[in-house]
Amino acid sequence: MQGYSEKEFFDKYSVRTDLALEAHQVVVEREGPPELPGVKVETVEKGQAVINRVTVENEMGARMIGKAPGYYSTIESRELRTHNREVHEELARYLAEELEWFIQQKKLGDEDPILVVGLGNWNATPDALGPRVVQNLMVTRHLLEMSPPELRHGLRPIAAISPGVLGLTGIETGEIIMGVTERIGAKAVICIDALASRSVERLCSTIQISDTGINPGAGVGNKRLAINEETLGIPVISIGVPTVVHAATIVSDAMDLLAGQKPESDVQERVPQRTTFQVDPRTIMGQQPAHQPQQPSMPEQPSLSGPQKRQLIQQVLEPYMGSMIVTPKEIDVLIDEVADIVAGALNIAFHEGVNYDQVFQYLT
């Protein structure tokens, strides 16, 4: 049905990623040249962060990088993995600014109610980002409903749910969201989800915001029903943070290296990106990490055809290729840090500068 295909993208590059920025990089790296038809990329540096804005302009672009047409902003910062509160507040502010841009883009009125949805399974650490963000969110819809209409002027009602996952509820997450948005008359949905990236370097160090929703098979948990503007009838803004790499991607990387398909120089640049992940206590304390160890040189080997490679990956991980994930041992600490930042950004975007004094007088 849809003109783009994440599956096709995986079949071609043996890489799974929920990040449009990474998908773009993979294509450019393997196919060159840097400009793909139907895909625009803009990069801005701000303090401790690099912000990339990828626009998939049309079906052509969507096919190229396996991501639906729409806007994708990515905030990257190694500081996301540190425990430095000042930098975190700075990053939360950048995220709030990007989010405000998406909200304006969707022409939402100031008083239009928004439903925030924490996707994922709260019992499984790498999938628990969404529920943890929702737990730290300031919800106001019930407060505003209790106050007289003249006082609600300019105030946005915020509601929030963590619907759980299909295996626990027996209900597609998308169905629960549809039921609740219809019932409460939400004018937009903001989904928070744990994502898969292609590189360990990006785990908990990148935040993606997009307006294309959550598509079947994306995210860490399984969703079969799309959660997007088409299915819900209202705008869907999704905020995602990679917390896992699919095992298939790691295996594919290993094979690429072994098969020596990349010239030495390229690998030198690519490898650090994939390999520098760790919870370094220095970074938790807000310090600079030490130097990177040198990469050893790599032996040259004959190349491998696409179908051969896919077959080998299947052989290592089949028959349940999609189920195995790679994640750092310390993922619980990392998710706590980034969940605080995302919740902080939402609270800023929704409530900053708002005076609730009069509203609260009508609370029982």
Among positions 239-278, residues that touch its own copies (CB under 8 A) are: 247, 250-251, 253-255, 257-259, 267, 271, 274-278
Nearest distance, CB of residue 217 and its own copies, angstroms: 11
Binding of its own copies at residue 44 (CB under 8 A)? no
Question: What phi and psi, each to the nearest 5 degrees, are found at residue 110?
Answer: -60, -30
Smallest distance from its own copies to CB 117, Å? 11
**225 lines the binding site for its own copies (CB under 8 A):** no
With contacts defined by CB under 8 A, how many residues of the chain interact with its own copies?
101
Name the one residue in this structure whose structure tokens are 């370094």: 280
**Which of these ranges, 30-38, 59-67, 90-98, 159-167, lies near its own copies under the rule CB under 8 A?**
159-167
CB closer to its own copies out of 20 and 143: 143
Contacts with 31 (C-beta within 8 Å, 6 or more apart), sequence order: none
CB 219 within 8 A of CB 120: yes
At position 307, the amino acid (one-letter code) is P
Q: Binding marks (x or -) toward its own copies, 321..350, rule CB under 8 A? A: --xxxxxxxxxxx-----------------
Alpha-carbon torsion, ordered 239, 241, 246, 252, to 10 deg: 100
> Interaction with its own copies in 185-214: which residues (CB under 8 A)?
200
Q: Is 281 in the site for its own copies (CB under 8 A)?
A: yes
As measured in angstroms, the least distance from the Cβ of 9 to its own copies is 20
How many Å apart are CA 265 and CA 159, to the nearest integer? 50
Q: In 148-167, which positions are buried (b, 16+ CB within 10 angstroms) versus exposed (e)?
A: eeebbeebbbbbbbbbbbbe
65 vs 343, beta carbon nearer its own copies: 343
* 303 is an interface residue for its own copies by CB under 8 A: no
Which of 23, 91, 92, 166 is in the footprint of its own copies by CB under 8 A? 166
Task: Kindly state whether residue 179 participates in binding its own copies, applying the rule CB under 8 A.
Answer: yes
Beta bridge pairs of residue 210: 72, 238
Sorted by sequence, the CB contacts under 8 Å of residue 312 that are 6+ apart come out as 251, 255, 304
Contact segment (CB under 8 A) with its own copies among 20-28, 31-39, 156-164, 228-236 equals 156-164
**Structure letter (DSSP) for residue 149:** G
299 near its own copies, rule: CB under 8 A: yes
Among 28, 50, 60, 279, binds its own copies (CB under 8 A): 279
Q: Which residues contact 353 (CB under 8 A, 6 or more apart)?
A: none
- Output 56 or 251, the one with its CB closest to its own copies: 251
Q: How far is the CB of 115 from its own copies (least distance, A)?
A: 8
Site for its own copies in 70-129 (CB under 8 A): 121, 123-127
Q: Does 143 bind its own copies (CB under 8 A)?
A: yes
Shortest distance in whole angstroms from residue 40 CB to its own copies: 32
Closest among 270, 272, 339, 258 to 81, alpha carbons compared: 339
Specify the length of the chain in residues: 364
Point out which span in 10-18, 21-29, 35-43, 158-166 binds its own copies (CB under 8 A). Answer: 158-166
- 187 in Cβ contact with 113 (< 8 Å): yes
Residue with tokens 């730290």: 136
C-beta separation of 194 from 244 below 8 A: yes
Binding of its own copies at residue 360 (CB under 8 A)? Answer: yes
CB of 113 to its own copies, least distance (A): 9
DSSP letter at 305? -
Q: Are 172 and 223 in contact (CB under 8 A)?
A: yes
